């Protein structure tokens, strides 16, 4: 029943893009957090999470994403999301994540707005 | 409303990591057979995932099992309807207390959103909980016109 999440990182001059593939549950959320914190420790202050290949999330995974947002905000940075399915977008709104992170329809629009 | 004869599925699942995916896939397959749209199926499966996680994490049941029943029916106008029952034989919980746990950014504890997510994604939600355990009954209907029913609790 493994639904292991994979995370790929694309470092860019002004920040980074994280690409997720799979289920964002507690384990997947921690995997994203580990990558995000490594990037923050390396000075990254603009982070875009592209969820194009993630179709399922749960509330535990999203709570970890909120913790990542808080840590980035504490450092004066920003996190944004793109390519969400409608139900993931709706779930982000229910949990309030959409109030603290920008959400874009596609990566090119996000990269342009974020200067990535 | 008149309904056609339905399809039914019953599952008994162990409370192990990611078992919620098996439950969600089973319900999704049933809904697809009835012609429900992928967006409505996604909403339903996310609600099922949260309900299974609640049972696994909070029920405190001794048998370490959850019991699921799905029925799929077509309403008189052809609209697909899925009913989902998820039961655990745990200690039950206080619904009013659980509903008060609205979390905000900056709060020390961010968990406990399951019920809100379930109610937002389903058309009807009814919970029966006591010392014998908890059953959550959820309904997803896709009206032919594209409208959905009111979310209730």
Express each pLDDT in B98-125 by its tens digit. Answer: 766 655 444 544 667 889 999 999 999 9
Is residue B116 included in any domain, yes or no? yes
Contacts of A57 in chain B (CB under 8 A): 46
At residue A8, the 3 state secondary structure works out as strand
Domain count, chain B: 1
Class of domain A6-114 (CATH, top level): alpha beta
CATH number of the domain where residue B103 is located: 3.30.565.10
Inter-chain CB proximity B46 and A99 less than 8 Å: no
Q: Where are the domains of chain A?
A: 6-114
Helix (H) or strand (E) holding B44: helix B38-58
Q: Find the domain containing B22 and state its range.
A: 7-141
Inter-chain CB proximity A87 and B20 less than 8 Å: no
Best of A59, A65, A92, A95 to disrupt the B interface (most B CBs within 10 Å) is A59
Is residue B153 included in any domain, yes or no? no
Inter-chain CB proximity B43 and A87 less than 8 Å: yes
Contacts of A85 in chain B (CB under 8 A): 42
With 50 as the cut, is the pLDDT of residue A91 above it?
yes
**Taking the model in full, what pTM does it have?**
0.89
C-alpha A90/C-alpha B117 separation (Å) is 9
For A22-60, what is each residue's pLDDT tens digit? 999 999 999 999 999 999 999 999 999 999 999 999 999
- DSSP classification of residue B12: E
Contacts of A70 in chain B (CB under 8 A): 105-106
């Amino acid at each position: 029943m493994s639904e292991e999440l994979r995370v790929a990182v694309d470092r860019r001059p002004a920040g980074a893009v994280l690409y997720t593939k799979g289920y964002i549950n507690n384990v997947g959320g921690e995997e994203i957090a580990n990558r995000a914190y490594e990037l923050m420790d390396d000075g990254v202050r603009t982070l875009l999470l592209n969820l194009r290949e993630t179709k399922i999330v749960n509330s535990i995974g999203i709570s970890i994403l909120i913790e990542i947002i808080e840590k980035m905000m504490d450092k004066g940075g920003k996190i944004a999301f793109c390519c969400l399915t409608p139900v993931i977008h709706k779930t982000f709104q229910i949990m309030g994540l959409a109030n603290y992170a920008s959400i874009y329809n596609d990566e090119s629009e996000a990269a342009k707005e974020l200067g990535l | 409303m008149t309904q056609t004869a339905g399809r039914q599925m019953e599952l008994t699942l162990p409370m192990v990591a990611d078992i919620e995916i098996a439950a969600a896939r089973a319900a999704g397959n049933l809904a697809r057979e009835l012609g429900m749209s992928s967006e409505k199926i996604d909403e339903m499966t996310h609600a099922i995932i949260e309900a299974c996680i609640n049972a696994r994490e909070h029920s405190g049941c001794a048998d370490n099992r959850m019991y699921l029943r799905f029925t799929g029916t077509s309403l008189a106008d052809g609209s697909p309807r899925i009913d989902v029952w998820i039961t655990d034989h745990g200690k039950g919980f206080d619904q009013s207390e659980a509903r008060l746990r609205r979390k905000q950014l900056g709060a020390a504890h961010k968990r406990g959103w399951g019920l809100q997510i379930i109610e937002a994604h389903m058309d009807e939600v009814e919970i029966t909980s006591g010392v014998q355990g908890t059953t959550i009954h959820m309904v997803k209907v896709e009206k032919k016109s594209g409208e959905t029913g009111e979310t209730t609790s």
